[in-house]
């Protein structure tokens, strides 16, 4: 690794993971985030489909990051979708207890190596109740818990949840289909008509939501802004 290289390690779920041809056209945010970073910044995407803060640790995935991350690197921490699954004890966490405790464990892994943790609230699903109105979704307690964790531990936070809800509301139900793995006969001829997936992203959605995270980092300023390409508009 070059001396001036900065690495972003990403601990997260399927909305961030790097996909291959077996899951095409699904695309994760971490997969496309290199589009936004300056030369010398490398994205090390450890995100994995279906993982929560708990299962990611239980499978030794955080331990791998712990063994590799170093001073001046960043750890992006983005969970919530699978922590909510109360029917699955291997993944479920209580938002204001075990979820917060797990987030603090991730933060401490970064800090013991003099790396910088960043908490990123979970991406909203396409939880429309009709063509124009977005429902409440299932993330709200986990978003509040992550914000509390960030405040308590003085950790930088990017509120992707709020930004993504804003974009979904502006697009409406039909307009947001192009961002997610939603298929209809006008978009993909080889998929069943009306196949719904309101969580996972296609390329256009991944690029758009990665751009929201970049916006959040730019607004944080300082070392977080320095990760990004300069964009002149």
- Marked catalytic residue, from 81, 113, 139, 200: 200
Is 140 labeled as catalytic in the residue annotation? no
146 within 8 A of 103, measured Cβ to Cβ: yes
Angle at 92 between CA 118 and CA 173, to 5 degrees: 70
Beta bridge pairs of residue 163: none
User: Which entry of 14, 52, 55, 176 is annotated as an active-site residue?
Assistant: 14
Closest CA to 111 of 166, 155, 161: 155
What separation in angstroms does the CA of 169 have from each of 52, 128, 208?
27, 9, 14
- The catalytic position among 151, 193, 219, 226 is 193
Measuring CA to CA, which residue among 140, 149, 83 is closest to residue 117? 149
* 102 membership: H or E segment, kind and range: helix 100-112
**Whole-Å CA distances, 208 to 25, 27, 30, 189, 223:** 15, 11, 12, 24, 22
Give yes or no: 193 in active site: yes
Q: Which residues are catalytic?
A: 14, 193, 200
């Amino acid at each position: 690794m070059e001396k001036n290289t900065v690495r972003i390690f990403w601990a997260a779920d399927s909305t961030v993971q790097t996909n291959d041809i077996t899951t095409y056209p699904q695309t994760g945010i971490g997969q496309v985030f290199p589009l936004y970073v300056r030369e010398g910044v490398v994205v090390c995407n450890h995100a994995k489909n279906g993982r929560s803060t708990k299962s990611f640790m239980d499978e030794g995935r955080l331990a791998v990051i712990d063994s590799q991350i170093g001073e001046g690197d960043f750890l992006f921490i983005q969970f919530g979708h699978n922590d909510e699954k109360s029917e699955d004890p291997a993944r479920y966490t209580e938002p204001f207890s075990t979820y917060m405790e797990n987030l603090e464990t991730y933060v401490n892994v970064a800090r013991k190596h003099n790396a910088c943790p960043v908490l990123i609230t979970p991406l909203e699903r396409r939880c429309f109740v009709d063509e124009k109105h977005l429902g409440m979704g299932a993330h709200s307690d986990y978003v509040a818990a992550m914000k509390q964790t960030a405040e308590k531990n003085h950790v930088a936070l990017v509120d992707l949840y709020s930004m993504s809800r804003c974009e979904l509301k502006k697009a409406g139900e039909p307009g947001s289909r192009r961002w997610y793995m939603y298929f209809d006969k006008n978009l993909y001829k080889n998929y069943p008509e009306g196949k719904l997936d309101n969580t996972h992203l296609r390329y256009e959605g991944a690029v758009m939501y990665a751009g929201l995270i970049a916006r959040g980092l730019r607004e944080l300023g300082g070392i977080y802004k320095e990760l990004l390409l300069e964009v002149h508009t």
